Structure 1
Amino acid sequence: MSVLLTDVLVWAPAERSGMTGPTDVLVDGDVVAAIGPGARVAAPVDVRVVDGAGHHVVVPGLVNAHFHSPANHLKGAFRSRPLETFMLYESPADPALAPTPREAYLRTMLGALEMLRTGTTSVQDDAFLMPTPDPAVIDAVMQAYADSGIRATVALDQPELPDGDKLPFLDGADGNFAAALRAPAPAAAPELLAAYDHLVRTWHGAAGGRLSAAVSISAPQRVSPEYWGALDDLSRAHDLPVFAHMLETRTQRALSVPGTGQDRFAGRSLVRYTADLGLLNDRVNVIHAVWVDDDDLDLIAEAGAVVAHNPVSNLRLGSGVMPFRAMRDRGITIALGVDEAICDDTVNTWGVVKQTGLVHNVSGRDADDWPAPAEVLDALWEGGAAAMRRTGRIGRVAVGTQADLVLLDLHAPAFTPFNDLRGQLVYCENGGSVRMTIVAGRVVAEGGRVVSVDETALLAEARELHAARRPALERTWASVDAVLPAYDAVVRRAARTDVGMNRWTA
């Protein structure tokens, strides 16, 4: 079906006001076919007409550039902890928690529904399908994205090395902690590469190109160079993004300090280590990049890699504040991500947009260096498109681009009274003004509800399934308590270690 949006304002970043119009926008097939007076003339006779009444603005669909869908069912489940201890509860490799395909489908759908309802049309899902990425579970995740109507790029975020290869300060480890450190990763490289073969062959380019594959190393310290090289080859062959968490925490920065027990890094940061392996390139999404130094930033800029910024997650886990201005000054492309429902506690990208506009104001820098709303929105849309390797195809409202669009009501509370489009998009909007979400030309959410699937039935089924799963989750969490103090000691020791910088506010 074609859609004609009449008497609407249109996002136009080159304009001082940030928009043009009122005018008309024609969506035909999966692209924006016309903008302006000719849109009505070009519209087919069976077009659906949506009257914007002069007070609705068409903006690009939001891009959630970093996400982990397997934690969608755990919103608000845990108190805030540092990443290294938080992950013990977030993604245990307990076979008792291996999801059925239906469970994987429903928990993926939970995130898709929330994103579409609030105007996110594209997501990059770094899916950790613990304990191993079973093809039937991969299919369930992808089918949920197919059915919901969202645009999704999905990778398999699986560690390949045991915990003993990932952490500093492990001297003297004994008992349950030593056993946990020696335990092999749930899946070895051949199994993981077979899972990627299934993902790429079955789903890359599916749903008319709306679904695609990416590859994920999880993090440099979690995989061998050989496995990483194989994924890089796959990425190069199909032009896939590479997801790599780097220097998210002070503990990860401590890996580069001589004498902390991980000699393979030879005093190098994880960014320098990656560059020395020849694996830092423009396909890489450097995720978080909080504890980076000037050398790291120069390497990222030279490679043309994209940084995926997750400010809400970084606050929830106490990771620190990313050096936003230092990145922008080097021309590094920044994208924005929710990270996951368990450490953002929602899957609403608007919260990330607002936090990006706020948290860097406590950097101690001159106020002229604080992020301007235009820069935040550039990261949301142009940065998000670059992260997905879709520059010029999404993140814009222009003839010939993908029709991934959101219709916002300027008579909603966030824009009443109307003062400045950019400022109110960044500081005021929370998804409450979204009246329609269109992905690839299809209306998928309207009037505050997702219309591409039976949202009510899916949510009811998810509630019932998770209630039944809860006892198994609690048994696993109780078993983690035994090793928590030892992992916590590693984090506390890293906190006391001089790493040559500070990314905390105090």
Structure 2
Amino acid sequence: MAELIVQARWVVTGIKDRHTPVVIEDGAVLSRDGVIVAVGASDAMQKLAPAAEVKSYPNHAMLPGFVNSHHHVGLTPLQLGSPDYALELWFAGRMPARKVDLYLDTLYSAFEMIASGVTTVQHIHGWMSGGYEAVHGASTKVLNAYRTLGMRASYCYAVREQNRLVYEADQDFCARLPAPLGTKLAAHLTSQALPFDDFMRLFDQLSDENVGQTLTRIQLAPANLHWCTDDGLLALNEKATARGVPMHMHLLETAYQKEYARRRTGKTALRHLYDLGILGPHMTLGHGVWLNGEDIDIVADTGTCICHNCSSNFRLRSGLAPLNVWEAKGITVGLGLDEAGINDDRDMLSELRLALRVHRTPGMDDDDVPTCAQVVKMATEAGGMTTAFGAEIGRLDPGRFFDAALINWTTATYPFQDPDIPMLDALVQRAKTGAVDAVFINGEIVYQDGRFTTIDRDAVLAEIADILGKPRSPEEVERRELGLAVFPHVKKFYEGYIPDEPREPFYAASARV
């Protein structure tokens, strides 16, 4: 059995409460075959395993590896030509995107994540065309990219049964478009359709193929209320319960989705899911920006998790999620980078600061606003609970997988940091990706001093650049023309969709009067 001791100036094993990290000075982690055996003082760990390999980081803080609890693609939509429209327009705005081999595409964003200390990703895949075999092949490429790189991934293929472009039936929307645009769009949307039984078949096949894999696990994802029928939601929940896997579902990301739920169900989207009986600790709600007070109480009472996608909510004009209220209710909240962070990359250190800062409401009580320890917990232990790995990741505790990031204190704080500021607070607020010197996943070092140990990043990026440096294919040209033609009709569909009524925010940063 391979034994490894990793020493650091500080070892942050986890978060005790929203103000208190658990820190061992001059500490070390002893792991065996990728699983933590013991954590404690460095000399004590060496006495436990005198023959173990030792790696020392005397000027570093060791943190549990971060968990990106909500992720979709490699190259960002902006890179591929889609501006930050409001979400409902964004779907049409992304139709012209170039195609990139999914193995390379997945590696692109995985490089960025790992370089910022992310060791586990919740990959929510979807929006593929070509039928079952094409979808299965695409899923396999994504999973193989993570396995080859050495990154942990909780994978799901999002189930979409209906309303693929706007919040009404595909055929109804296409029928109102001028000819031949409606016919072309209908064919495009049909190419993305997959029979519900094939979604279930895909989950079963990927799960069978994943047996024996340590780094990847398969779960389920009803894409969103407007994309799923009630029968589909119930069937997915039944499958998740039978197979003991979690689900991740976009919900109430925008005010338009809130209105869609009212029109379809006569109640809130969250109340509808509750009445269907599909909420609970196995369900994570992505975004949740437009949950109301009663919804939040139901989330707390059922133990349902939420993933906060702070950057995405800002970029797509979705709104400001009531994170402070969720925290006060004791809800498990992960942190997700979604399509891309505020700087159009996958930098979890930047996302920690964004979540920390934007919810600093006026007042003086520290319990009312996020803390550094809180956002670290969101990105580690709480994030782990939104994935198929659950309590096996997210802390540096015995019995959990050894996933960790080593952050160089001098690089993060040079030329000076007053010691009155607690170590973790200083790192959360000051560390950049350049301070991440090493990343361990499953007890293996996958990133060291800016280089990946399993894959040549420069070669991958050069291959992507070569592919996208070529002219658009005829299929890409046709799809670009379709997207540009459809866009104004999508925008028109939502005119007057939301009732003109006053909104009362959970907390506000300014006042008109």
Counterpart CA distance in 1 for 2:369 and 2:111 is 33
Aligned: 1:38 with 2:37: no
**Measured at CA, do residues 256 and 51 of structure 1 come closer, stay the same or move farther in structure 2, by a change above 3 Å?**
closer
**Measured at CA, do residues 403 and 167 of structure 1 come closer, stay the same or move farther in structure 2, by a change above 3 Å?**
same
Counterpart CA distance in 1 for 2:186 and 2:432 is 42
Counterpart CA distance in 1 for 2:255 and 2:85 is 13
Report the counterpart of residue 86 of structure 1 in structure 2. Answer: 90
Counterpart CA distance in 2 for 1:436 and 1:278 is 43
List aligned pairs for 1:461-476, cutoff 5 A: 461-468=463-470, 470=472, 473=476, 475-476=478-479
List aligned pairs for 1:481-492, cutoff 5 A: 481-492=484-495
Report the counterpart of residue 460 of structure 1 in structure 2. Answer: 462
Report the counterpart of residue 199 of structure 2 in structure 1. Answer: 192
TM-fit CA distance, 1:344: 6.2
TM-fit CA distance, 1:492: 4.7
List aligned pairs for 1:305-454, cutoff 5 A: 305-341=304-340, 345-361=344-360, 363=361, 368=366, 369-414=368-413, 416-418=415-417, 419-454=421-456
Aligned: 1:239 with 2:244: yes
Aligned: 1:252 with 2:251: no
Which of 155-164 and 134-143 deviates more?
155-164
TM-fit CA distance, 1:206: 4.1
Identity %: 23
Instruction: Choose from 112, 115, 125 the match for 1:114.
Output: 112
Counterpart CA distance in 1 for 2:259 and 2:325 is 21
**Measured at CA, do residues 117 and 470 of structure 1 come closer, stay the same or move farther in structure 2, by a change above 3 Å?**
farther
Report the counterpart of residue 226 of structure 2 in structure 1. Answer: 221
Counterpart CA distance in 1 for 2:186 and 2:277 is 28
Counterpart CA distance in 2 for 1:321 and 1:70 is 25
Q: Deviation digits for residues 5-28 of structure 1, max 9, x if unmatched?
A: 235311143495752211333232
**Measured at CA, do residues 415 and 212 of structure 1 come closer, stay the same or move farther in structure 2, by a change above 3 Å?**
farther
SS state at 1:207 partner: coil
Counterpart CA distance in 2 for 1:58 and 1:89 is 41
TM-fit CA distance, 1:485: 1.9
**Measured at CA, do residues 171 and 392 of structure 1 come closer, stay the same or move farther in structure 2, by a change above 3 Å?**
closer
Counterpart CA distance in 1 for 2:98 and 2:461 is 20
TM value normalised by structure 2: 0.86
Counterpart CA distance in 2 for 1:382 and 1:453 is 28
Q: Deviation digits for residues 468-487 of structure 1, max 9, x if unmatched?
A: 37455454233212221222
TM-fit CA distance, 1:129: 4.5
CA RMSD of aligned residues (A): 3.0
TM-fit CA distance, 1:401: 1.9
Q: Which runs of 5+ in 1 are unaligned?
A: none
SS state at 2:11 partner: strand
Counterpart CA distance in 2 for 1:255 and 1:163 is 14
TM-fit CA distance, 1:38: 2.6
Q: Which runs of 5+ in 2 are unaligned?
A: none
Counterpart CA distance in 2 for 1:441 and 1:277 is 41
TM value normalised by structure 1: 0.88
The letter of the residue matching 2:66 is L
**Measured at CA, do residues 448 and 290 of structure 1 come closer, stay the same or move farther in structure 2, by a change above 3 Å?**
same
Preserved CA contact (<8 Å) 2:92 2:490: no
Preserved CA contact (<8 Å) 2:155 2:218: yes
The letter of the residue matching 1:255 is Y
Q: Deviation digits for residues 194-231 of structure 1, max 9, x if unmatched?
A: 2222212112x5422x2101111110110112222222
Q: Deviation digits for residues 163-220 of structure 1, max 9, x if unmatched?
A: 487359x9998224876589556222122222222212112x5422x21011111101
TM-fit CA distance, 1:335: 0.4
TM-fit CA distance, 1:412: 0.8
The letter of the residue matching 2:458 is T
Counterpart CA distance in 2 for 1:494 and 1:429 is 43
TM-fit CA distance, 1:411: 0.8
**Measured at CA, do residues 349 and 325 of structure 1 come closer, stay the same or move farther in structure 2, by a change above 3 Å?**
same
Report the counterpart of residue 273 of structure 2 in structure 1. Answer: 274
Which of 341-350 and 277-286 deviates more?
341-350
Q: Deviation digits for residues 376-398 of structure 1, max 9, x if unmatched?
A: 11211121121115444211122
**Measured at CA, do residues 286 and 330 of structure 1 come closer, stay the same or move farther in structure 2, by a change above 3 Å?**
same
**Measured at CA, do residues 164 and 397 of structure 1 come closer, stay the same or move farther in structure 2, by a change above 3 Å?**
closer
Q: Deviation digits for residues 93-120 of structure 1, max 9, x if unmatched?
A: x9x9776xxx111111111122122210
**Measured at CA, do residues 481 and 225 of structure 1 come closer, stay the same or move farther in structure 2, by a change above 3 Å?**
same
Preserved CA contact (<8 Å) 2:74 2:108: no
Counterpart CA distance in 1 for 2:423 and 2:325 is 26
Preserved CA contact (<8 Å) 1:76 1:345: no
TM-fit CA distance, 1:130: 1.2
Matched residue pairs, number? 488
Counterpart CA distance in 1 for 2:356 and 2:146 is 29
Which of 181-190 and 24-33 deviates more?
181-190
